[in-house]
């Protein structure tokens, strides 16, 4: 099973770009990388998903190097409302539910004014 | 509005008293699942369902039951709750599987005394 390692916590300031790196050394060939955001007392919310290189959407970018052993979630110009826990998950091609998907402890991101 | 709803949001009960937590989604999703979230342990999957009348165990199924008689509903049943089932529970759905973008409900905080 592909486990992930993320920093337990990070601090940043409003307006800064924040990069959260996730390590997944034993990622399998078919595994995708997915990031979720969770606010206190709410369910996780999907942010972005990718397989290789770079993926960008309206809220974040995901950078995946060629060896795919790590990935970086980039949040541009963060605000106080980005304070949350961010989870990196590896596994489960979107169309196949037979793969395991492991949720780690996540990274608690605190944005300061 | 596309959403996953859970009821109740908060529940305090006593050991051994059967309870049901309801989950409903309005997105016509095939896949639904239940997770529990405990401090320091991340989210762990309890049961999932690929479609109506198709359910399967997740990582921590002991002490729980589920049913999927209709596509939109996926209730979680605790036949004889115990204090170690005190947790925050989330229902989630996705169109294709657990690797696909999952939509989470607001959570049910259960306390078993």
Tens digits of per-residue pLDDT, A67-88? 999 999 999 999 999 999 999 9
Q: Are the beta carbons of B103 and B25 closer than 8 angstroms?
A: yes
Q: How far apart are CA B46 and CA B75, in angstroms?
A: 12
Among A96, A103, A104, the residue with its CB nearest the CB of B99 is A96
Q: How confident is the model at residue A99 (pLDDT cuts 50, 70, 90)?
A: low
B99/A93 CB distance under 8 A: yes
Chain A residues whose beta carbon lies within 8 Å of the beta carbon of residue B103: 46
Q: How far apart are CA A52 and CA A62, in angstroms?
A: 9
Q: How far apart are CA B57 and CA B46, in angstroms?
A: 6
Left, alpha or beta for A53 (phi > 0: left; psi -120 to 50: alpha)?
left
Task: Please state the separation of Cα A110 from the chain's center in Å.
Answer: 15
**Terminus-to-terminus CA distance in chain A, angstroms?**
39
Give residue for tokens 């209709």.
B70
Q: Look at residue A91 and tell me whether its pLDDT is greater than 90.
A: no
Among B59, B99, B104, the residue with its CB nearest the CB of A43 is B104
Q: How far apart are CA B108 and CA B1, in angstroms?
A: 20
Q: How many Å lie between the alpha carbon of A70 and the closest alpha carbon of chain B?
A: 18
The total of other beta-carbon atoms located within 10 Å of residue B4's CB is: 23
Q: Look at residue B103 and tell me whether its pLDDT is greater than 90.
A: yes
A113: which residues sit within 8 A by CB, 6+ positions away?
A13, A14, A80
Q: Look at residue A5 and tell me whether its pLDDT is greater than 80.
A: yes
The total of other beta-carbon atoms located within 10 Å of residue A61's CB is: 17
**Terminus-to-terminus CA distance in chain B, angstroms?**
36
Cis ω for the linkage preceding B8 (within 30 of 0): yes
B97/A94 CB distance under 8 A: yes
Which of A5, A50, A95, A101 to mutate to probe the B interface, most B CBs <10 Å?
Answer: A101
Q: What is the pLDDT of residues A8-42, one digit of tens each?
A: 999 999 999 999 999 999 888 888 999 999 998 89
What pLDDT shows up at residue B80? 97
Q: How far apart are CA B14 and CA B110, in angstroms?
A: 11
What pLDDT shows up at residue A77? 93
What pLDDT shows up at residue B101? 87
């Amino acid at each position: 099973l592909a486990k992930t390692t993320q920093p337990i916590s990070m601090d940043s300031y409003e307006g800064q770009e924040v990069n959260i790196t996730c390590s997944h050394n034993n990622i399998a060939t078919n595994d995708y990388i997915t990031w979720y955001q969770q606010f206190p007392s709410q369910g996780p919310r999907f942010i972005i998903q990718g397989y290789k290189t770079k993926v960008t959407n309206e809220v974040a970018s995901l950078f995946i190097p060629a060896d795919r052993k790590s990935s970086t979630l980039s949040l541009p110009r963060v605000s106080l409302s980005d304070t949350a826990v961010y989870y990196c998950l590896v596994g489960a091609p979107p169309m196949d539910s037979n793969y395991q998907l492991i949720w780690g402890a996540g990274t608690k991101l605190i944005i300061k004014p | 509005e596309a959403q996953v709803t859970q009821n109740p949001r908060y529940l305090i009960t006593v050991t051994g008293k059967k309870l049901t937590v309801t989950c409903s989604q309005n997105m016509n999703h095939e896949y639904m699942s239940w997770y529990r979230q405990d401090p320091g342990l991340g989210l762990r999957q309890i049961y999932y369902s690929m479609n109506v009348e198709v359910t399967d165990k997740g990582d921590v199924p002991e002490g729980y039951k589920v049913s999927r008689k209709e596509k939109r509903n996926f209730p979680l049943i605790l036949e004889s709750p115990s204090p170690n089932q005190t947790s925050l529970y989330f229902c989630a759905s996705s169109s294709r599987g657990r690797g696909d973008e999952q939509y989470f409900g607001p959570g049910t905080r259960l306390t078993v005394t």
